[in-house]
Amino acid sequence: MLGLLVVAGLVTGCTGVSSAPPPLADSTFARVLTDLHLAQSRHRTLANQLDAPPPPRDSIFAHHSIRATAFEATLRHYSRHPGALAGIYQSVIDTLTARQQAARRAVRAASRDSAPPAAAPPP
Protein backbone atom coordinates (compact mmCIF):
# COMPACT_ATOMS: atom_id res chain seq x y z
CA MET A 1 0.00 0.00 0.00
CA LEU A 2 2.71 2.46 0.97
CA GLY A 3 4.63 1.54 -2.16
CA LEU A 4 1.57 2.46 -4.19
CA LEU A 5 1.40 5.83 -2.42
CA VAL A 6 5.02 6.54 -3.24
CA VAL A 7 4.63 5.44 -6.87
CA ALA A 8 1.41 7.45 -7.23
CA GLY A 9 3.19 10.46 -5.82
CA LEU A 10 6.05 10.04 -8.26
CA VAL A 11 3.73 9.66 -11.23
CA THR A 12 1.38 12.52 -10.35
CA GLY A 13 3.95 14.90 -8.91
CA CYS A 14 3.86 18.58 -9.71
CA THR A 15 5.94 19.80 -12.61
CA GLY A 16 7.42 22.80 -10.80
CA VAL A 17 10.67 21.96 -9.04
CA SER A 18 11.33 23.70 -5.77
CA SER A 19 14.68 23.91 -4.02
CA ALA A 20 13.00 24.14 -0.60
CA PRO A 21 13.83 21.29 1.76
CA PRO A 22 11.18 18.69 2.53
CA PRO A 23 8.96 19.36 5.56
CA LEU A 24 10.37 16.30 7.39
CA ALA A 25 14.06 15.61 7.86
CA ASP A 26 15.31 12.72 5.73
CA SER A 27 16.12 10.65 8.83
CA THR A 28 12.63 11.18 10.27
CA PHE A 29 10.97 10.39 6.95
CA ALA A 30 13.03 7.19 6.64
CA ARG A 31 12.08 6.07 10.18
CA VAL A 32 8.39 6.76 9.49
CA LEU A 33 8.52 4.85 6.20
CA THR A 34 10.23 1.95 7.98
CA ASP A 35 7.54 1.86 10.68
CA LEU A 36 4.78 2.08 8.07
CA HIS A 37 6.29 -0.89 6.21
CA LEU A 38 6.55 -2.89 9.44
CA ALA A 39 2.93 -2.08 10.32
CA GLN A 40 1.81 -3.13 6.85
CA SER A 41 3.74 -6.38 7.17
CA ARG A 42 2.18 -7.11 10.57
CA HIS A 43 -1.23 -6.36 9.09
CA ARG A 44 -0.69 -8.81 6.23
CA THR A 45 0.39 -11.47 8.72
CA LEU A 46 -2.62 -10.89 10.98
CA ALA A 47 -5.04 -10.59 8.07
CA ASN A 48 -4.22 -14.19 7.20
CA GLN A 49 -5.30 -15.23 10.71
CA LEU A 50 -8.22 -12.91 11.41
CA ASP A 51 -10.08 -9.97 9.99
CA ALA A 52 -7.56 -7.33 11.10
CA PRO A 53 -8.12 -3.62 10.47
CA PRO A 54 -5.56 -1.74 8.37
CA PRO A 55 -2.48 -0.44 10.18
CA PRO A 56 -3.01 2.83 12.10
CA ARG A 57 -0.95 5.51 10.35
CA ASP A 58 -1.96 8.14 12.89
CA SER A 59 -0.40 6.25 15.79
CA ILE A 60 2.86 5.95 13.83
CA PHE A 61 2.78 9.66 13.09
CA ALA A 62 2.11 10.40 16.78
CA HIS A 63 5.00 8.13 17.80
CA HIS A 64 7.32 10.24 15.63
CA SER A 65 5.66 13.53 16.68
CA ILE A 66 4.68 14.44 13.14
CA ARG A 67 1.41 15.35 11.47
CA ALA A 68 -0.14 13.53 8.52
CA THR A 69 -0.02 16.79 6.56
CA ALA A 70 3.78 17.00 7.01
CA PHE A 71 4.17 13.40 5.88
CA GLU A 72 2.01 13.98 2.81
CA ALA A 73 3.85 17.22 1.98
CA THR A 74 7.12 15.30 2.24
CA LEU A 75 5.77 12.66 -0.16
CA ARG A 76 4.85 15.46 -2.59
CA HIS A 77 8.33 16.94 -2.23
CA TYR A 78 9.97 13.63 -3.12
CA SER A 79 7.60 13.13 -6.04
CA ARG A 80 9.40 16.15 -7.50
CA HIS A 81 12.84 14.84 -6.40
CA PRO A 82 12.79 11.09 -7.09
CA GLY A 83 16.58 10.82 -7.03
CA ALA A 84 16.63 11.99 -3.42
CA LEU A 85 13.82 9.58 -2.54
CA ALA A 86 15.81 6.67 -3.94
CA GLY A 87 18.56 7.25 -1.38
CA ILE A 88 16.10 7.50 1.49
CA TYR A 89 14.24 4.41 0.35
CA GLN A 90 17.50 2.48 0.16
CA SER A 91 18.11 3.30 3.83
CA VAL A 92 14.60 2.01 4.61
CA ILE A 93 15.37 -1.24 2.76
CA ASP A 94 18.72 -1.55 4.56
CA THR A 95 17.03 -1.04 7.95
CA LEU A 96 14.30 -3.57 7.20
CA THR A 97 16.86 -6.10 5.98
CA ALA A 98 19.00 -5.65 9.10
CA ARG A 99 15.96 -6.06 11.36
CA GLN A 100 14.90 -9.19 9.50
CA GLN A 101 18.37 -10.71 9.82
CA ALA A 102 18.49 -9.87 13.55
CA ALA A 103 15.07 -11.48 14.07
CA ARG A 104 16.21 -14.63 12.24
CA ARG A 105 19.36 -14.82 14.39
CA ALA A 106 17.24 -14.42 17.54
CA VAL A 107 14.91 -17.23 16.45
CA ARG A 108 17.85 -19.53 15.71
CA ALA A 109 19.46 -18.71 19.08
CA ALA A 110 16.18 -19.33 20.90
CA SER A 111 15.71 -22.69 19.18
CA ARG A 112 19.28 -23.71 20.09
CA ASP A 113 18.72 -22.68 23.72
CA SER A 114 15.50 -24.67 23.96
CA ALA A 115 16.81 -27.82 22.29
CA PRO A 116 17.26 -30.78 24.64
CA PRO A 117 20.87 -31.57 25.50
CA ALA A 118 22.51 -34.24 23.40
CA ALA A 119 22.63 -37.66 24.99
CA ALA A 120 26.02 -38.71 26.29
CA PRO A 121 27.64 -41.55 24.34
CA PRO A 122 27.55 -44.92 26.07
CA PRO A 123 30.69 -45.78 28.07
What are 35-88's pLDDT values in tens digits?
999 998 888 777 666 666 777 899 999 999 999 999 999 999 999 999 989 999
Q: Is residue 91 part of a domain?
A: yes
Residue 31: what are its φ and ψ, rounded to 5°? -65, -40
pLDDT tens for 4-34 read 445 444 444 444 455 789 999 999 999 999 9
Task: Tell me whether residue 11 is in a domain.
Answer: no
Note whether 32 and 24 are within 8 A (CB): yes
pLDDT at 55: 72
User: Taking the model in full, what pTM does it have?
Assistant: 0.71
pLDDT value, residue 111 = 84
Overall average pLDDT of the 84-106 stretch:
94
Is residue 118 included in any domain, yes or no?
A: no
Distance of CA 27 to the CA centre of its chain: 13
In a domain, 115, yes or no: no
* Cβ neighbours of 20 (radius 10 Å): 6
Backbone φ and ψ for 119, nearest 5 degrees, come out as: -70, 145
Residue 49 lies in a domain: yes
**What is the rounded average pLDDT of the residues 78-101?**
94
Does any domain span residue 15?
no
Q: Tally the domains of the chain.
A: 1
Torsion of the alpha carbons at 97, 101, 102 and 104, rounded to the nearest 10? 140
pLDDT at 120: 58
Instruction: Tell me if 17 is assigned to some domain.
Output: no
Range of the domain at 100: 23-105
Using CA atoms, how far apart are residues 26 and 28, in angstroms rounded to an integer?
5
Do the domain assignments include residue 43?
Answer: yes
